[in-house]
Amino acid sequence: MNITPRRTFYACAVFFQIENKAHLCYHFGIVSELSDIKNHIIIKTKGGFNMSELIKSDYSALSFNPFDKIGKQWMLITAGNESGLNTMTASWGGMGVLWNKNVVYIFVRPQRHTLGFIDNSDYFSLSFFSEEYKKALLLCGTKSGKDCDKVKETGLTPAFDENAPYFKEAETVLICKKLYRQQLSPDSVVDERVFKEYNDDYHFVFVGEITEVLQR
């Protein structure tokens, strides 16, 4: 006698929260005996959906080491509007006080596609992300908006402040009003070591006044 084993489809999903992130554990499969299930239990976790929204904050609520935040964690410089934006990764920059204003300094090489967007806007934004977005930042730092759609390729979600675009997945966003733009000049270099960073493509420095702080 030919007995066809009864097959059962099963699926289970559990949502849980760790700190501010929602995680989804799920598993599904087909078993012919219940005892098979234990051989199937390889939980797949899809995780890290941010549960909290970015909310307007104040510069006094910022607490980080700027050397790590910019130099190691990196940031996205974004400019444009709803009809077109571009973003690029940056790890050179600074924050401080100038002309009695809280400011950021960013350094953008002339060949960057983002430069035109910054030049054509009164504002730009700096978006800082948690570690899980490092791959997205690497993509934005190795591909040019001239050749691809970085928003589409990274899956990041642009949001539009009244003054500058930024990304919803960010942990911290600084909206900055341009105050100053100048190209660095070889004539002003005082230490030879600086020259090894250049092939005639001296950065444009932008000083931006921090007009809005968004944080989770």
Ligand X SMILES: Cc1cc2nc3c(=O)[nH]c(=O)nc-3n(C[C@H](O)[C@H](O)[C@H](O)COP(=O)(O)O)c2cc1C
Locus of tokens 């909310």: 55
The residue ranges of DSSP E strands in the chain, in sequence order, are 8-18, 21-31, 44-50, 55-57, 75-81, 84-90, 93-98, 101-108, 123-128, 158-160, 165-167, 172-183, 204-215
Q: Shortest Cβ contact with ligand X: which residue? A: 141
Does position 121 bind ligand X by CB under 6 A?
Answer: no
Give rounded-to-5 percent helix, strand, coil for the chain. 25, 45, 35
Q: Which of 54, 88, 103, 136 binds ligand X (CB under 6 A)?
A: 88
Residues listed for the chain: 216
Of residues 206 and 213, the one with the C-beta less far from ligand X: 206
Q: Which of 78, 89, 102, 154 binds ligand X (CB under 6 A)?
A: 89
Does position 141 bind ligand X by CB under 6 A?
Answer: yes
Does position 181 bind ligand X by CB under 6 A?
Answer: no
Task: Lay out the sheet containing 44-50: strands in order across.
Answer: 8-18, 21-31, 44-50
Token code pair at residue 198: 């250049």
Shortest approach of ligand X to residue 91 CB, angstroms? 4
How far is Cα 57 from Cα 80, in angstroms, rounded to an integer? Answer: 23
Shortest approach of ligand X to residue 88 CB, angstroms? 4
How far is Cα 17 from Cα 157, in angstroms, rounded to an integer? Answer: 22
Q: CB under 6 A: which stretch of 61-69, 144-152, 164-172, 174-182 binds ligand X?
A: 144-152
Does position 114 bind ligand X by CB under 6 A?
Answer: yes
Q: CB under 6 A: which stretch of 26-34, 121-129, 136-144, 157-165 binds ligand X?
A: 136-144
In the complex, the residues that contact ligand X under the rule CB under 6 A are: 74, 86, 88-92, 107-109, 112-114, 138, 141-146
